[in-house]
Amino acid sequence: MTLTALILGTSVLSVADAQQQPFPRERTQARSCADVDWNQDMITNHPRLIEACQEVVVVREQNWARFQAAFTRVEADGNVLFSIRDSRNRPIENVVLEPATGQVAYIDNRAVPFAQLRRDQVVNLYVPEGQYGFVSQPGAPLEEIAIVRRAPSTPAATSPAPVRTAATQPRADVLPATASPLPWFAFAGLLSLFGALTVRLIRRSQAC
């Protein structure tokens, strides 16, 4: 009887311990950049930019695509120029952002104004799913989204002005008419004089 009670008590304790152990939590599959429902304007205007997506961060059941951006400069109008990089830190596309009021960058969770960033300093930017713009942190209010402006086009290289060279005159096939007609007049006069002398001599010979 005592042995039976001991075995029964051990079984009850084992069941109680098993019930106290937590069950493993259900794990959802990590979301990738291919799972993001991108804004159609971003797909049309920046197809290569989407390929530079690093990962997807989920905050409050919303996807936030993370990008690496190298700071370039702050324009005179307050817009900020970034160079979006891929996973190998190769430049993919330059984007100009019009920051929201009070928007800053974050370096190691420390707020840094854009104007205080160093050139080529890399920061994280996030695109909320379905939106056309960037925020500085995932989960930020959509009022803090920076509008994407078109990057300034590279000025076309100006072609050098044509160098004027003196045109070479083609050689004339006919010599220029520089001779005077006076020698011909003199020659004709000599012929006339010679003819007159000849006629005079003939007449004298006939008279004799």
In this predicted structure, the answer to whether residue 187 has a pLDDT above a threshold of 80 is: no
Q: Is residue 69 part of a domain?
A: yes
Query: What token pair was written down for 111?
Result: 């707020």
Q: What are the distances in angstroms from CA 35 to CA 28, 29, 42, 46, 131?
A: 14, 11, 15, 17, 15
Q: Is residue 157 part of a domain?
A: no
- For the chain, what is the domain count? 1
Q: What are the distances in angstroms from CA 116 to CA 67, 105, 202?
A: 20, 10, 124
Q: What is the mean pLDDT of the chain?
A: 78
Per residue in 6-34, pLDDT tens?
444 555 445 444 444 443 343 345 689 99
Query: What token pair was written down for 67?
Result: 């990008």
HSE (side-chain half, CA atoms, 13 Å) at 102: 4
Q: Is residue 82 part of a domain?
A: yes
In this predicted structure, the answer to whether residue 164 has a pLDDT above a threshold of 80 is: no
The region of weakest confidence among 88-102, 164-178, 189-203 is 164-178
Q: What is the mean pLDDT of residues 157-162?
A: 48
Per residue in 93-128, pLDDT tens?
999 999 999 999 999 999 999 999 999 999 999 999
Q: Is residue 117 part of a domain?
A: yes
- Please tell me which residue, 174 or 50, carries the higher pLDDT value: 50
Domain hosting residue 75, numbered range? 33-149
Q: Is residue 22 part of a domain?
A: no
Please report, to the nearest 10 degrees, the dihedral formed by the alpha carbons of residues 36, 106, 149, 83 taken in order.
-90
Per residue in 32-91, pLDDT tens?
999 999 999 999 999 888 899 999 999 989 999 999 999 999 999 999 999 999 999 999
Q: How many CB atoms lie within 10 A of CB 65?
A: 26
| pLDDT the model gives residue 43 | 92
> How big is the CA angle at 43 (ends 39 and 49), to the nearest 5 degrees?
110
- Please tell me which residue, 35 or 164, carries the higher pLDDT value: 35
Q: Is residue 89 part of a domain?
A: yes
DSSP state letters, 4-28: HHHHHHHHHHHHHHHHHSPPPPPPP
| pLDDT the model gives residue 69 | 96
| pLDDT the model gives residue 200 | 72
| pLDDT the model gives residue 179 | 60
Q: CA Rg, the chain, in Å?
A: 49
Residue type, 53: C
Q: What is the mean pLDDT of residues 129-157?
A: 82
Q: Is residue 107 part of a domain?
A: yes
Contacts of residues 127-132 at CB distance under 8 Å and 24 or more positions apart, as own/partner, are: 127/36, 127/38, 127/42, 127/53, 127/64, 127/65, 127/67, 128/62, 128/63, 128/64, 129/36, 129/37, 129/38, 129/62, 129/63, 129/64, 129/65, 130/37, 130/38, 130/39, 131/39, 132/39, 132/41, 132/42
Confidence of residue 197 (pLDDT cuts 50, 70, 90): confident
Q: Is residue 80 part of a domain?
A: yes
